[in-house]
Amino acid sequence: MNDQNLWDERYRSSSAIWSGDPNPQLVSEVSGLTPGSALDVGCGEGADAIWLTEHGWHVTAVDISSVALEHARAAEVNAHLDWGIDWRHVNVVAEPPPTLFYDLISAQFMHLLPIPREVLFRGLAEAVKPGGTLLIVGHDPSDLQTTARRPPNPEVFYTAAHVAELLPPQRWEIVATATRARSATDPTGQTITVHDAVLRARKRE
């Protein structure tokens, strides 16, 4: 999952591999927040970054795939935004963002092996400003029991509680640790129920 060549080839396979809609948990968790600076980690084709910008955020969006960023820049042009998104080609495991820098950091479906995943999430937590928000969303491990298209390695899955354990309670207020059901379509075209692991936390001031 942290392989640039793999992701470049996947994004080259189609003009768009995602729906073009923002992730529903992002919309649910961020809609009530005061806009500021935001980091969209693993931005893919840019739907989340565009939605955030449309709602007043000043967004830096990073991805390991340069091809994904090409798609994202094209989507930005079509969206006719009031101001631009700062697209960056970055491996955030190897190059964590600057500390205490963002009002919001969103990482959606970053499924890595446990050690690099912990490195990533700790680095993202350090980059949130006091009073800022960390939002991490992933596929819940229960999805391995469905017909959804998911990575075959159980180690790359995590619960919201697993993420919360990385955040010292003296520094963080846990706003949400949830497993949320939503409808999805599996590779055969059937409608199924999948579950998102949702961690939202606020850094104490």
178, two tokens: 């949830």
pLDDT at 132 over 70: yes
Predicted local distance difference test score (pLDDT) of residue 1: 59
pLDDT at 13 over 80: yes
Predicted local distance difference test score (pLDDT) of residue 19: 81
Residues 140 and 157: beta-carbon distance below 8 Å: yes
Q: Please state the length of the chain.
A: 205
pLDDT at 3 over 90: no
The mean pLDDT value for 5-16 works out to 84
Helix axes 66-79, 4-12, angle to 10 degrees: 50
Q: How would residue 2 be classed by pLDDT, with cut points 50, 70 and 90?
A: low
- Give residue-wise pLDDT tens across range 105-125: 999 999 999 999 999 999 999
pLDDT at 17 over 90: no
Domain count, the chain: 1
Percent of the chain with pLDDT over 90: 88
Predicted local distance difference test score (pLDDT) of residue 86: 98
Cα separation, 72 vs 17, whole angstroms: 12
Closest C-alpha among 25, 24, 67, 26 to residue 44: 67
Residues 45 and 75: beta-carbon distance below 8 Å: yes
Q: Could you tell me the maximum CA-CA distance found in the chain, to the nearest angstrom? A: 48
Range(s) of the domain holding residue 32:
4-203
Q: How would residue 165 be classed by pLDDT, with cut points 50, 70 and 90?
A: very high
Closest C-alpha among 122, 115, 155, 119 to residue 138: 155
The mean pLDDT value for 131-152 works out to 93
Higher confidence at residue 6 or residue 164?
164
pLDDT at 18 over 90: no
Instruction: Fill in the DSSP letter of residue 148.
Output: S
- pTM for this prediction: 0.94
Predicted local distance difference test score (pLDDT) of residue 69: 97
What CATH number corresponds to the domain at position 187? Answer: 3.40.50.150
Average pLDDT for the chain: 95
Buried b (16+ CB within 10 A) or exposed e, 37-68: bbbbbbbbbbbbbbbbbeeebbbbbbbbbebb
